[in-house]
Amino acid sequence: MFTVFKNHPRYVIAAVVVHLVVGILFAVSFHWTSTPAGSLPPVIQIHTVTDKQIQEIVRSPKAVETPKTDPKDEAAARRQRAEEQKKLQEAERRKEADRKKVALEQERVKKQQKQLEDKRQEELKRTQQFKDKIAAEQKRFDEDQKRQEQLQLQQQQERQRQQAEAIARQAESKRQATIIDKYEALMHQKVKQNWIQPPSSRKKVCIVKINMIPTGDVIDITIISSSGDPVFDRSVVHAIKKSSPLPVPPPEAGLFNVFRELNFEFGTES
């Protein structure tokens, strides 16, 4: 800071001066706004008496210069002088009254002007307030509008994103269904091959519930509906156990939950 001051004293001073000027200008404050047309009160015509007029009025008696007279005419002169004095006084008095009247009139006019000015200022202030209010409302409205537009845009984007996701999910579910079908078929094949069906299996049905771990190893077999024939039921349990581990989708397919718990129905009612 000081180095700047030291190095460029002229600029600093200039800057200070400019600041001061600007500061003063701000302090004085401009009133740029013009009186809005149509909203002004009617102009009042005032009769103004200037100082010059008043001086003329005051000076006018001097124009009647009295000539030098002899003592005889002293008295008359005195009288005349007295009379003139009197006239003068009278004029003076009138002048004074006029002046007073003018001053009064001026005072009145000033007062009236001030009142007008006050009124005008008041009017201006109100106008400004009104304008400010309108502007604020406009601003608020604009902001609302903007916010809503933004919200709509966001919602639309979200919708598009979700729709895209849904479509992707649908495709994924189709893909998964294909994988599920495939492994269902593989399991069916393996278990069928391991099921040595007892000769007396006609009209026998046995349903078992199995639980697997992700390797396909069967960790639990529960007969949930017995065929009523222990030999048939055992053949079913054997078929499952001999098929363990069952073919399961690779872990990356993320489908293990579909196969974690399975039912196998062996045999037919007919």
Which residues here bind other proteins, judged by CB under 8 A?
152, 155, 159, 162-163, 166, 169-170, 172-173, 180, 184, 187-188, 191-201, 207, 209, 229-231, 234-235, 237-239, 241-242, 258-259, 261-268
**Region of 25 on the Ramachandran plot (φ > 0 left; ψ -120 to 50 alpha; else beta):** alpha
96: Cα within 13 Å, side-chain hemisphere: 6
Of residues 127 and 176, the one with the C-beta less far from other proteins: 176
Task: Give exposure, 214-252, as e/b (b: 16+ Cβ within 10 Å).
Answer: eebebeebeeeeebeeeebbebbbebbeebbebbbbeee
Of residues 14 and 164, the one with the C-beta less far from other proteins: 164
Of residues 77 and 216, the one with the C-beta less far from other proteins: 216
CB atoms within 10 A of CB 130: 10
Complete DSSP assignment for 115-152? HHHHHHHHHHHHHHHHHHHHHHHHHHHHHHHHHHHHHH
Of residues 41 and 199, the one with the C-beta less far from other proteins: 199
Q: State the nearest-atom distance from the C-beta of 156 to other proteins, in Å.
A: 9
Q: State the nearest-atom distance from the C-beta of 166 to other proteins, in Å.
A: 4
Of residues 55 and 162, the one with the C-beta less far from other proteins: 162
Q: State the nearest-atom distance from the C-beta of 236 to other proteins, in Å.
A: 8
Q: Tell which residue, 209, 225, 226, 185, has the closest CA to residue 260.
A: 209
Q: State the nearest-atom distance from the C-beta of 145 to other proteins, in Å.
A: 14
Amino acid at 145: Q
Q: State the nearest-atom distance from the C-beta of 157 to other proteins, in Å.
A: 13
Q: Tell which residue, 223, 225, 204, has the closest CA to residue 270.
A: 204
Of residues 106 and 194, the one with the C-beta less far from other proteins: 194
Tell me the pairing of strands 261-266 and 218-225: unpaired
Of residues 80 and 194, the one with the C-beta less far from other proteins: 194
**Region of 228 on the Ramachandran plot (φ > 0 left; ψ -120 to 50 alpha; else beta):** left
Q: State the nearest-atom distance from the C-beta of 18 to other proteins, in Å.
A: 54
Rounded Cα distance between 237 and 244, Å, is: 11
